[in-house]
Chain A
């Protein structure tokens, strides 16, 4: 398994606040990684740096051996926590857009998923509920055949049936070439699909282990360990 994301002594401050403190980690192809931590602890910043949205960091970040830039953006499919499509777009407009800019976009797959979730491709996003908007975005992101999927809270606004459906989509998309990084609060639902778990607190990596390793060493689930680690935060 080769390494597709590598960070070395990555640091990022916002003014005097240290958000990322010497983060060194590597992520291999063909793994599903859980990025866990309380809010404001730096995991979103880490994801933004990998995605190329934050450029003024110090330290090294290599994605498929390239620094964040045009190439890395072409192989990363990023789902942010917020709605990033213009609200006057419809799913169809978004499909056109993605098809135009991303060579690895599978339009048929996206259309099938929209149908499966009973989303009207011509309905403007602003008239959709938040949950529906999130589904549309997740469908767009997962319809790309990318090498890295960066999912920031992909299950947030979904009911439990939709969450299950989304997890199936993520698993179904698994490829030995691709890495999936999921940052989430809903550890309960998701921990069974993690290969690895990285827990970040106060800008530092507190735990970096395989999911089953955590279970073996601690005799508890990942979510329980998480609660243990962060109980005093």
Chain B
């Protein structure tokens, strides 16, 4: 059943999302062509547009996924989906898997678009310099980490909005309507950001950046608080400490939010 649900989920979302990929690819083609042609204004304009499009792809994908989630489960179509002989867990998982796929694909295409946009603007050489510098210090895995963090953040935002939409469907929140989902999303986001920041500062797992002699990064079991205190006092830092607690928190919250979303779908469903 999971496979069937995934199949239909892809089928129905493929009606819209790839359309934006097409636009992005078109613009990538335009920028590449513009760069060859060397017409300055054309090259600049199209590259800047491409930068925006690169970011827009991820945003639009997120919006489409969110609208689809709401429409397919909590509007009229919900009457169809929730009477299918499948477990609620299967329903939620199929949507999550497909959403993750589209999100990752959009992120990749978005990043490519941004990179090509930068290339069009002529900033590409600087990027190449930075990456060479990084490999000199054997830190090129940082790029990979950045990409993973971006994916994590996307996944986190997805879980958060799924959570908000599902909670806003509870009987007690019916009065709020669609606005309820937004409100819950914003409120939960703010609360979790605050808690996440506290985790970053106080959880004793951090990255220690040594920037004095050479650039090296190591994992330490100190928390960020000391470093921040020093900075406030105006003491020159020898090392930069970046707390990883926030990332750990996000990982935990993804599981927690998923679980709460599932439980609410199972036990507190109240379709209008």
Contact = CB atoms under 8 A, between A and B. Distances in A.
Interface in B245-265: none
Given A83-B76, A84-B77, A88-B15, A56 B270 contact: yes
Interface residues of A, number: 27
A233 interface: no
A71 B76 contact: no
A107 interface: no
B83 A70 contact: no
B133 interface: no
A14 B175 CA distance: 10
A82 B79 contact: yes
Interface residues of B, number: 27
Interface stretch (B41-49, B54-62, B166-174): B166-174
Interface stretch (B84-92, B112-120, B187-195, B224-232): B84-92
Nearest to B71: A86
Contacts, number: 66
Given A82-B79, A97-B8, A55 B85 contact: no
B4 A15 contact: no
B76 A84 contact: yes
Given A15-B171, A70-B85, A86-B12, A55 B1 contact: no
B271 interface: yes
A13 B172 CA distance: 10
A74 B85 contact: yes
B138 interface: no
Interface stretch (A33-41, A45-53, A153-161): A45-53
Contacts of A185: none
Contacts of B15: 88
A73 B83 contact: yes
A80 B81 CA distance: 12
A78 B85 CA distance: 12
Nearest to A94: B80
A48 B85 contact: no
A51 B83 contact: yes
A54 B171 CA distance: 9
Nearest to B90: A70
Contact of A55 (B4, B78, B269): B269
A56 B84 CA distance: 19
Contacts of A101: 1, 4, 84-86
Contact of B79 (A14, A15, A53, A100): A53
A80 B85 contact: no
Interface string A56-89: 1000000000000011011010101011111010
A-B complex: 7 closest residue pairs judged by Cβ atoms: A74-B85, A84-B79, A84-B80, A53-B271, A73-B85, A55-B269, A80-B79
Interface of A: 13-15, 48, 51-56, 70-71, 73-74, 76, 78, 80, 82-86, 88, 97, 100-102
Given A56-B171, A73-B83, A83-B76, 10 more contacts: A15-B171, A15-B172, A51-B83, A52-B82, A53-B82, A53-B271, A54-B270, A55-B268, A56-B269, A84-B80
